[in-house]
A and B are shown apart, each in its own frame.
Chain A
């Protein structure tokens, strides 16, 4: 029972961390795509959408190439003593990679809905671009951003394919989804069922919260 609790709390904690990491990057990219034209815009759009379309194991493979010991990012991090693969950081990386596209889509829609005139008025009143962003665009786009965050969080909670490739199925890095998989593989049906129930409960709870937030704002 305590193992179930630790796996569940680990997964939720990692998903929450991944959502926090996703937010600055996702919101910036979403704003860029909504408001700016620049060369390579289509490439950025495609890159961000890639994890949505690729099979998760394919995304996992790309992440291993990047963050593995012999990859560009992984090797650089190892030099400063930070290990990614087979640690909790790998779980967060996988979750961010899979949740980011959803956040960007929803946040971008949120920004596109903001009436440009408000931003232009703020500019004529002397506000800097940064001030306009933080005091006008961002608050007005908050519904899209919130919806995107919840989507990203839910996706992170359920992430499996990329996670198992990057983080393995080590006792210390097992998420709910990975635990269900390993229990099923090793014939531990009772444990798998318990984990499944926990997963469904958390998903249900997340949906309830997201519905409540959506109807309030």
Chain B
């Protein structure tokens, strides 16, 4: 009896569809995007659902986590990474459709602090003060914003000084959250994330020319359940309507192919 029940349960959980049938028009598109894209992608997903009638499911996390998921076989249709390294990882394993890869956006690094921080704090150098004991950043060994932060700190020769005080987080949004609740004294995140929050204040920005080149590549995966629909979504994200939304959130929209 229990064996029969087990078989019924397993049958009910079996994946639907097979490769010979046309794309299932009912199931949602799965989009993995770096967490800094949270608000923009939510808006764009709603817009796309309204315009194209296709439901988009967003999977938001640190790009290193997202890449690890895809490497482990997650059925993601479109991947928007916050740096090229994570996308390259997937490309090396043949997990993305190379012809669909495009550099979509760029961003800027900024320093933020809890909103009640003293007014005189207005530069990276002011964080050298011992009062700033803990500074939240993305994990510099993997999360894109952390990798960019490390590159920037190394380029200005301040990596060794700050290293001991850095609190590595799993995504840029986790770093932002820590600054918002005052669990840390400051954080280094993207300008777009600073703009999205009313509970932090920006204390400095890294001019685009001086900092590391931040690139958000996008590509359709080879494991995509809906490759054609994913291509259409990617085309939408490069269109004028999407551009307006990206720019209003503070992203820099790129025009060039990789």
Contacts and interface: CB of A to CB of B under 8 A. Distances in A.
Interface string B158-198: 00000000011110000000000111000000000000000
A200 interface: no
A169 B139 contact: yes
B89 interface: yes
A64 interface: yes
B167 A186 contact: no
Tell me the interface secondary structure of chain A in the complex. Answer: loop
Contact of B169 (A64, A70, A168): A168
B141 interface: yes
Contacts of B182: 68-70
B64 A69 contact: no
Interface residues of B, number: 19
B217 interface: no
Contact of B89 (A69, A170, A184, A187): A187
Contact of A185 (B133, B134, B142, B167): B142
Interface in B54-83: 62, 64-65, 67-68, 71
Interface in A88-116: none
A114 B16 CA distance: 59
B68 A86 contact: no
Contacts of B62: 185
Contact of A68 (B71, B170, B181): B181
B168 A170 contact: yes
Contact of B67 (A68, A169, A170, A187): A187
B183 A186 contact: no
Given A86-B134, A86-B167, A187-B89, A70 B181 contact: yes
A69 B134 CA distance: 12
Contacts of A70: 181-182
Contacts of B181: 64, 68, 70
B142 to A, nearest CB: 4
Interface in A37-85: 64, 68-70, 83, 85
11 contacts: A64-B181, A68-B181, A83-B133, A86-B167, A168-B167, A169-B169, A170-B167, A170-B168, A185-B64, A185-B170, A187-B89
Interface of A: 64, 68-70, 83, 85-86, 168-170, 182, 184-187
